[in-house]
């Protein structure tokens, strides 16, 4: 090289071709951020950060719903999954010789909604017959913890005898056992508490009879006493708490594609999911497994209440998923189908009945059902989504309008959320928005599953949105990196996009990452916010991004870093204020491979001078994930920074930083 100039030019050429990291010269000027802490900000929706829950990837049975027994009511079948039957999840225990056996019968069910039950037939004294259940990939037990066993039983023939119930490990060692009293000639519920004397990750439940006769058995359940907030028929506490820790302002449920199902016979009917669990009508899941509906509409509303989050149920808009007819996992199906016009009044009434279930007085039909389940006070439903990622066909538009008009007339206090189709652009998107404007719908659900770069390229997507028209709910969105991996690259793109949603928080009033849960080994969709198994859960880097935004939300937008060219660099920012506390919150995303310096000028610094909280989420490689067993997961780190009228921040490479400037009490 002839000179230093030649060396620098050579290094710049290498950098341009990606042969060395991006070169940042020492004389590069720091970024400038000017904050007027006394200025009036632009309003941000207080409900901007929420969650979307769908019974997908075993998110309910085998997941959030705390029931430990798979196929407890013997209703599995080949329609759920190829090769399944009423004894899927169970092994039959019987002697090698003799006439003892287990059959599935339908002649005398507990309820027509629950038609199948097992019959244990003991032919002679000395025989033992029964069932063994392995739960969902084994039953995880903790020594000394209480587990509630229950089952419905009926003596069908001969004299009754006792029923042995036990928990065993994989080697057949008994961890806990009890004996239930003899059954009677009618269906009755029998209960006992089992307390294992050792931890076990792969236990199984054993139910056996040794008294000659025929015994009917149904709704065989094993439920931990430790549920979220201690509710009966409740939720797995660690998973429910992981969602509560996000501080969601709302919960959208139960889907997703689940709501309009896999054909007209598979649309999600909320009435099938309420009342006593033994009388709920189970059905196949569009994601190719079975729904017990133990986690039903009552439990969803109760979960929202426990988290102080607004419930947002979604109902089908009178049409099925356009991909339905063969099961989503066996793509693709017959196309969108519509409920016949003559059947729509009854369907519309079902929707109105849902609102009555949530909000009606105890002397109303469905308010009384809610009260009987244990909640006489209304749940205070404010939002109702109608439709999900639907093709905006004439059939859809006609049925959506029927539902929308009925809800607007009968329940003007409930905001109906429309849909703009499956994608954030295209023919359905345009038709969906045209219908929204035509009908005067106040809020519309948009979905955006795109590569990380799309979110960087669309940080200005809502800057010029019509401020007088319908507001936007970004109901399902996530950055899909190569291979659909939940990487740091994806999480930083999502953080950047969230800064733009805060900037446009007067128009984008709600958002929820999707999907929320996926069970390891049973995952139908990637990426997800939280992965889990029977013992623990694994929050992704995207989870921590959502959590930081949830914990450090604001309701006024104050500004952003000056002069950043988003077309040339992956830097994003927002400054918001929490009017309740007076705190000012700075969010800074640096997806570049080099550190970035930010000089902050803070007008009105007298109220904030001193130290501020700095939370940083950073990694050395954009391909990093928080996969199960990762030796060094990417987690937020908390430090303190000095704050005055002028102070500086250094943003690490590949990082998302949150600075919270605390307004002291009494300072205005």
491-540 pLDDT per residue, tens: 999 999 999 999 999 999 999 999 999 999 999 999 999 999 999 999 99
| 634 and 579 inside one domain | yes
Asked whether residue 80 is domain-assigned, the answer is: no
Do 616 and 587 meet the contact criterion of CB atoms below 8 Å apart? Answer: no
| Tokens 């400038």, located at residue | 32
Which pLDDT does position 58 carry in this prediction? Answer: 98
Residue 551 host element (H or E): helix 541-551
pLDDT beyond 80 at 626: yes
User: Comparing 28 with 480, which gets the higher pLDDT?
Assistant: 480
Which pLDDT does position 126 carry in this prediction? Answer: 84
| 482 and 598 inside one domain | no
pLDDT beyond 80 at 447: yes
Instruction: For residue 47, give the 3-state DSSP assignment.
Output: coil
| 484 and 526 inside one domain | yes
Task: Identify the CATH number of the domain in which residue 576 sits.
Answer: 2.60.40.1180
Which pLDDT does position 22 carry in this prediction? Answer: 36
Q: How far apart are CA 277 and CA 290, in angstroms?
A: 15
Do 573 and 557 meet the contact criterion of CB atoms below 8 Å apart? Answer: no
303-328 pLDDT per residue, tens: 999 999 999 999 999 999 888 765 54
User: Could you say which of 505, 522, 553 is where a domain stops?
Assistant: 553
Which pLDDT does position 28 carry in this prediction? Answer: 64
- 531, two tokens: 């992965």
- 136, two tokens: 């969902």
CB proximity list for 604: less than 8 A, separation 6 or greater: 36, 37, 38
70-102 pLDDT per residue, tens: 999 999 999 999 999 999 999 999 988 778 899
Selection from 631, 625, 649 nearest residue 639 by Cα = 649
pLDDT beyond 70 at 14: no
Do 547 and 246 meet the contact criterion of CB atoms below 8 Å apart? Answer: yes
Which pLDDT does position 124 carry in this prediction? Answer: 87
Which pLDDT does position 223 carry in this prediction? Answer: 98
pLDDT beyond 60 at 12: no
560-605 pLDDT per residue, tens: 999 888 778 999 999 999 999 999 999 999 999 999 999 999 987 6
Average pLDDT for 606-629: 91
Asked whether residue 292 is domain-assigned, the answer is: yes
Q: Distance of alpha carbon 404 from its chain centroid, rounded?
A: 26
Which pLDDT does position 603 carry in this prediction? Answer: 87
pTM beyond 0.85: the answer is yes
Asked whether residue 631 is domain-assigned, the answer is: yes
Q: How many domains does the chain have?
A: 3
Domain residues for the domain of 575 are 21-41+557-661
User: Could you say which of 194, 224, 254 is where a domain stops?
Assistant: 224
Which pLDDT does position 17 carry in this prediction? Answer: 39
| 205 and 258 inside one domain | no
Please state at what angle helix 427-439 crosses helix 394-410, rounded to 10 degrees. 30
| 26 and 131 inside one domain | no
- Per DSSP (E only), the strands in 374-442 are 383-386, 415-419
CB proximity list for 664: less than 8 A, separation 6 or greater: 607
Which pLDDT does position 44 carry in this prediction? Answer: 97
Mean pLDDT of all residues belonging to the chain: 92
Instruction: Please tell me the least confidently modeled range out of 95-99, 395-399, 641-645.
Output: 95-99
| 256 and 345 inside one domain | yes
Task: Identify the CATH number of the domain in which residue 197 sits.
Answer: 2.60.120.260
| 214 and 243 inside one domain | no
Q: Of all residues in the chain, what percent carry a pLDDT higher than 90?
A: 86
Which pLDDT does position 138 carry in this prediction? Answer: 97
- Written as one string, the DSSP assignment of 132-191 is EE-BTTBEEE-TT--EEEEEEEEEEESS---EEEEEE-TT--EEEEEEEPPP-SS-EEEE
| 605 and 539 inside one domain | no
Average pLDDT for 163-186: 97
User: Which residues does the annotation mark as catalytic?
Assistant: 389
Instruction: Please tell me the least confidently modeled range out of 232-236, 276-280, 499-503, 630-634.
Output: 630-634
Asked whether residue 16 is domain-assigned, the answer is: no
Please report, for residues 18, 333, 351, 358, 368, the alpha-carbon distance to residue 377 in angstroms, rounded to integers and kept in the order given.
Answer: 62, 42, 20, 9, 10
Task: Identify the CATH number of the domain in which residue 474 sits.
Answer: 3.20.20.80
Which pLDDT does position 565 carry in this prediction? Answer: 83
Do 230 and 223 meet the contact criterion of CB atoms below 8 Å apart? Answer: no
Do 626 and 541 meet the contact criterion of CB atoms below 8 Å apart? Answer: yes
Q: How far apart are CA 534 and CA 362, in angstroms?
A: 38
Selection from 497, 345, 318, 293 nearest residue 400 by Cα = 318
Asked whether residue 489 is domain-assigned, the answer is: yes
Which pLDDT does position 566 carry in this prediction? Answer: 75
Q: How confident is the model at residue 607 (pLDDT cuts 50, 70, 90)?
A: confident
| 653 and 577 inside one domain | yes
Average pLDDT for 325-338: 63
Asked whether residue 206 is domain-assigned, the answer is: yes
pLDDT beyond 60 at 277: yes
Which pLDDT does position 329 carry in this prediction? Answer: 45
| 390 and 275 inside one domain | yes
| 388 and 469 inside one domain | yes
Which pLDDT does position 668 carry in this prediction? Answer: 52
| 623 and 529 inside one domain | no
User: Could you say which of 174, 199, 224 is where a domain stops?
Assistant: 224
Q: How far apart are CA 602 and CA 583, in angstroms?
A: 13
Cβ count near 146 (within 10 Å): 14
Asked whether residue 95 is domain-assigned, the answer is: yes
Asked whether residue 73 is domain-assigned, the answer is: no
């Amino acid at each position: 090289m002839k000179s230093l100039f030649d060396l620098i030019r050579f290094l710049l050429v290498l950098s341009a071709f990606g042969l060395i990291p991006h070169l940042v010269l020492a004389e590069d000027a720091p970024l400038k951020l000017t904050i007027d802490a006394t200025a009036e900000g632009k309003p941000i929706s207080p409900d901007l950060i929420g969650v979307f829950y769908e019974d997908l990837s075993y998110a309910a049975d085998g997941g959030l719903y705390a029931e430990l027994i798979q196929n407890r009511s013997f209703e599995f079948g080949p329609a759920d999954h190829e090769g399944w039957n009423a004894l899927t999840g169970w092994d039959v225990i019987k002697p090698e010789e003799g006439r003892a056996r287990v059959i599935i019968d339908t002649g005398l069910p507990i309820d027509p909604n629950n038609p199948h039950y097992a019959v244990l037939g003991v032919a002679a004294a000395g025989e033992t017959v029964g069932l063994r259940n392995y739960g969902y990939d084994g039953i995880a037990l903790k020594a000394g913890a209480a587990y509630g066993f229950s089952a419905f039983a009926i003596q069908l023939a001969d004299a009754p005898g006792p029923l042995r119930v036990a928990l065993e490990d994989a080697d057949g060692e008994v961890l806990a056992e009890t004996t239930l009293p003899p059954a009677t000639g009618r269906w009755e519920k029998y209960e006992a508490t089992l307390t294992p004397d050792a931890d076990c990750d792969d236990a199984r439940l054993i139910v056996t009879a040794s008294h000659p006769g025929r015994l009917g058995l149904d709704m065989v359940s094993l439920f931990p006493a430790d549920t979220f907030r201690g509710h009966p028929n409740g939720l797995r506490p660690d998973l429910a708490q992981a969602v509560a820790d996000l501080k969601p302002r709302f919960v959208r449920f139960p889907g997703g594609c689940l709501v309009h199902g896999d054909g007209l016979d598979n649309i999600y009917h909320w009435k099938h999911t309420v009342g006593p669990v033994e009388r709920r009508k189970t059905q196949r899941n569009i994601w190719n497994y079975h729904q017990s509906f133990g986690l039903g509409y009552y439990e969803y509303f109760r979960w929202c209440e426990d988290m102080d989050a607004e419930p947002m149920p979604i109902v089908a808009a009178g049409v099925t998923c356009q991909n339905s007819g063969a099961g989503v996992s066996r793509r693709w199906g017959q196309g969108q189908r519509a409920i016949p016009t003559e059947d729509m009044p009854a369907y519309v009434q079902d929707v109105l009945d849902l609102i009555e279930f949530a909000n009606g007085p105890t002397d109303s039909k469905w308010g009384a059902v809610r009260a009987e389940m244990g909640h006489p006070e209304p749940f205070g439903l404010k939002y109702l989504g109608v439709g999900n990622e639907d093709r905006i066909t004439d059939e859809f538009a006609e049925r959506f309008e029927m539902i929308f008009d009925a809800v607007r007339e009968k329940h003007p206090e409930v905001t109906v959320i429309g849909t703009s189709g499956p994608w954030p652009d295209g023919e359905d998107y345009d038709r969906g928005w045209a219908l929204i404007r035509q009908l005067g719908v106040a809020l519309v659900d948009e979905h955006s599953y795109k590569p990380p770069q799309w979110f960087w390229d669309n940080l200005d997507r809502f800057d010029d949105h019509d401020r007088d028209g319908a507001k936007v709910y970004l109901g399902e969105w996530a950055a899909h990196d190569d291979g659909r991996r939940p990487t740091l690259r994806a999480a930083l793109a999502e953080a950047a996009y969230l800064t733009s949603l805060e900037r446009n928080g007067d128009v984008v009033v709600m958002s929820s990452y999707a999907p929320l849960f996926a069970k390891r080994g049973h995952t139908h969709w990637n990426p997800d916010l939280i992965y889990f198994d029977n013992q623990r859960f694994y929050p992704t880097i995207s989870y921590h991004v959502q959590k930081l935004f949830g914990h450090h939300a604001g309701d006024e937008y104050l500004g952003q870093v000056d002069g950043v060219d988003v077309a040339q660099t992956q830097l994003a920012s927002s400054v918001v204020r929490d009017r309740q506390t007076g705190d000012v919150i700075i969010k800074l995303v640096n997806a570049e491979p080099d550190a970035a310096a930010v000089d902050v000028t803070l007008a009105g610094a007298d109220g904030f001078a001193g130290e501020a909280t700095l939370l940083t989420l950073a990694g050395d490689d954009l391909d990093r994930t928080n996969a199960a067993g990762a030796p060094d997961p990417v987690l937020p780190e908390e430090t303190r920074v000095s704050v005055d009228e002028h102070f500086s921040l250094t943003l690490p490479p590949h990082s998302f930083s949150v600075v919270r400037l605390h307004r002291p009490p009494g300072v205005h």
